[in-house]
Chains A and B, each alone.
Chain A
Amino acid sequence: MTFDFHQLISHATKTRPLGAGTIIGSGTVSNKQNTDHGSAIDQGGVGYSCIAEVRMIEQINHGEMTTPFMKFGDRIRIEMLDDNGDSIFGAIDQTVIEYQSPS
Chain B
Amino acid sequence: MKLASFKKHRDGELVVVSRDLTVCARVADIAPTLSNALDHWTDIAPLLQQRYDQLNANQLDDALAFNQSNCASPLPRSSQWLDGSAYVNHVELVRKARNAEMPESFWHEPLMYQGGSDSFIGPQENIPLGSEDWGIDFEGEIAIITDDVPMGRLRGDCEQHVKLLMLVRT
- CB neighbours (8 Å) of B21 from chain A are 87, 90
Instruction: Verify B150–A17 contact, CB threshold 8 A.
Output: yes
Q: Is B94 an interface residue (CB 8 A)?
A: yes
Most buried by A among B125, B135, B146, B152: B146
Instruction: Verify B158–A25 contact, CB threshold 8 A.
Output: no
Instruction: Verify A97–B127 contact, CB threshold 8 A.
Output: yes
- CB neighbours (8 Å) of B140 from chain A are 28-29, 49-50, 78
Question: CA A4 – CA B141 in complex, angstroms?
Answer: 13
Residue of A nearest to B136 (CB): A70
Instruction: Verify A28–B90 contact, CB threshold 8 A.
Output: yes
Question: CA A6 – CA B90 in complex, angstroms?
Answer: 20
Residue of B nearest to A33 (CB): B89
Question: CA A100 – CA B129 in complex, angstroms?
Answer: 9
Instruction: Verify A20–B87 contact, CB threshold 8 A.
Output: no
Number of interface residues of A (CB under 8 A): 66
- Assuming the contacts A8-B86, A29-B142, asked whether A93 and B124 have C-beta atoms less than 8 A apart, the reply is yes
Q: Is A24 an interface residue (CB 8 A)?
A: yes
- CB neighbours (8 Å) of A20 from chain B are 38-39, 41, 79, 146-148
Instruction: Verify A93–B123 contact, CB threshold 8 A.
Output: yes
- CB neighbours (8 Å) of A78 from chain B are 140, 167, 169
Q: Is B168 an interface residue (CB 8 A)?
A: yes
Q: Is B68 an interface residue (CB 8 A)?
A: yes
Instruction: Verify A4–B90 contact, CB threshold 8 A.
Output: no
Instruction: Verify B35–A21 contact, CB threshold 8 A.
Output: yes
Shortest CB-to-CB span from A60 to chain B, Å, is: 5
- CB neighbours (8 Å) of A51 from chain B are 137-138
- CB neighbours (8 Å) of B151 from chain A are 13-17
Residues of A in contact with B (beta carbons under 8 Å apart): 1-32, 35, 49-53, 55-57, 59-60, 69-72, 74, 76, 78-80, 86-87, 89-100
